[in-house]
Every structure is written in C-alpha cells, then in structure tokens.
Amino acid sequence: MKNWAADKSVCLLLVAILWSSSRILFAGPGPLATDGKDYSKEPPPVEKSWCETPSLWEVRIGAPGWLAGLSGESGVKGIVDSVDVSFDQLVRHLTHFPVALSVNARYRRWEFWVDGQYIEVGTSATLPGLLFTDANVHIKNALAEGFVGYRLINCDNANLTLFAGARWTYLMGDLSIFDNGDARLVRLRELLGIRKRLDFSDSIDWVDPVIGLRGRVKIWKATKLFAEGDVGGFNANADTAFELRREGRTIRRESVDSTDWSYQVAGGLEIQLTRQIWTQVGWRYMKYDFKKNGFTDKNEMNGPFLQTGLNF
C-alpha cells in the first residue's frame, strides 16, 4: 500500500514537470518584467498594406527605341502607293537614324508627359495597273505628343491612369515613278501618254485629340507589367480628299472620303535595374487612317519596343 502511494506521488510529480516544461518550450521566451511594462496590453504589429501610396513627386526620362515595320498606303497629290517594310528590314531602309525622347512627371495622382520621334524610310515598289512602272517612295514621319493624366489607382505595386491630350503628326512624301525599261511596252506607253518619269513631293501636318489608358502592375520584386492604349483623331481634321486615277489616255481626279483616325497599343515588361535606372521591353503597334486633300497615310507601324531611362 505504501509502495502504491509512493508510485502515485512520483507520477504526479512527473506530470507536473512535463506540463511546466511544455509551457516553457512552446511559449517561447517571455519578456522580463523587470522594466515594469505590461506587455500583455501592447497592440499587435500592423501589417503592411499591399497598396502603399507612392512618393509625392516622380520624374522619369527615357530614350525609346522602336524597330517598327511600316506597311499600308501612302499618297502625295492624289498618287497612292503601297509600302511594306518589315521591322527586320527596317535598318536597311532607314535613311536617317531615328530620334526619340520621352519625359514623364507625376505629382500625387496627376501625371504629365511628352514624347516624340522622327523617322525616315525609303523603299522601291511596283505599281500595279500602270504597265509595270516602278516607283521609289521616301517617307518622313514625325510625331510629338503631350498628355495630362489622372491615376484612378495610385499604388506602388499597381497604377492605372486615364489620360487625354494631343498628338502632332508631320508627314512628307517623295514619290518618283519611272519606266522600268521594258522594251515591249515603249510604243504602248507613248500611245497612252505615260511619261518616262514623274516626281511628286509634298508635306502636311496636323494635330489630333487623343484619349487613352495606361498602367503598370508589379509581378515580382523589381519587375512590372506595363500596358498602354489610346485612340485619336475622331475625324477632327477630316475635310475633302481626292485620288488620281487613269482611264485610258487621261488621268481623272476622283473624290474620296476624308478620314482622320489613329490607334495605338503597347505593352511589355518593365525592370528596375537600379534605384534610378529602369528599362522597358515590349511590343508597340500604331495605325493611322488619314486622308485629306491629296494626302494619304493609311499605314501601320508595328514592332519590338525598347526604352531605357532614369527616374528621380
């Protein structure tokens, strides 16, 4: 009987020791009460919000490069010709090195930015329906844009901006039509009154209203997805338009619908290389649907896009 009582006491002592040890092991180190503070009443730590408000000011300056192919129709003084230069052929058709620059500034939710580019492309083509006459086309294109935007979403990890502004476009076209030297058609060309060489050159510029959306979202550490799209023109500069067409031995001036629209989309990856240097890699597409007086610009520019810049 005495042995059973002793065993019972030992068991109770072991249970008490194990209970105390488990509290020490699983509760972790507790604060020392020697400083006189009641740690049980301290508030829990505040979790960091996913949508942290960015800094008050931000300035970004970039140097974009766009290896855009050019395809569509261009016309000067009513003579319309087709152009098709893919982006992998662009370097061989550039007559001058393209120039581009972008400047962005933000204050709170308001954004202001301008950008521009200048490019010259030259190519040769065969005009269908004109006795296999050849043509040289030289196109100069410049654009400058200015926008004001308001951030609908304003976070470090994501932002979405609604913007409006204007786009200035300059277009100059040189078109030379000449006999390709086919001896079988010499007499027929003389009868039809087709000269051996015709040169056309003219320029035009216009300003379009533009509205659009752009945004960025963080996907991993210093990497973000970016996208932008806009629509411009809205037939603001539409007036009258014409094209020259041959009928027999005469050239007839024919009225056509005048239009003024433009569309643009771009997207890709943005990587913050250092605290002040960033780069964007993506794709950009832009289309003009402009026809006024004797000018035609129904071209698409489409190709890879690369931009590197500084942020302050």
> In the chain, which residues have pLDDT < 70?
1-47, 124-133, 179-196, 249
> Which pLDDT belongs to residue 174?
79
Torsion, Cα 82 86 87 90, to 10 degrees, reads -60
Buried residues in 169-187 as b, exposed as e (16+ CB within 10 A): bebbbbbebebeeeeebee
> Which pLDDT belongs to residue 137?
74
pTM: 0.75
Q: Biggest alpha carbon distance in the chain?
A: 139
* 238 phi/psi in degrees, rounded to 5: -65, 135
> Which pLDDT belongs to residue 76?
81
Domains and CATH numbers, the chain: 57-311 (2.40.128.90)
Residue 10 C-beta-side C-alpha neighbours within 13 Å:
6
What's the N-to-C CA distance of the chain in angstroms? 86
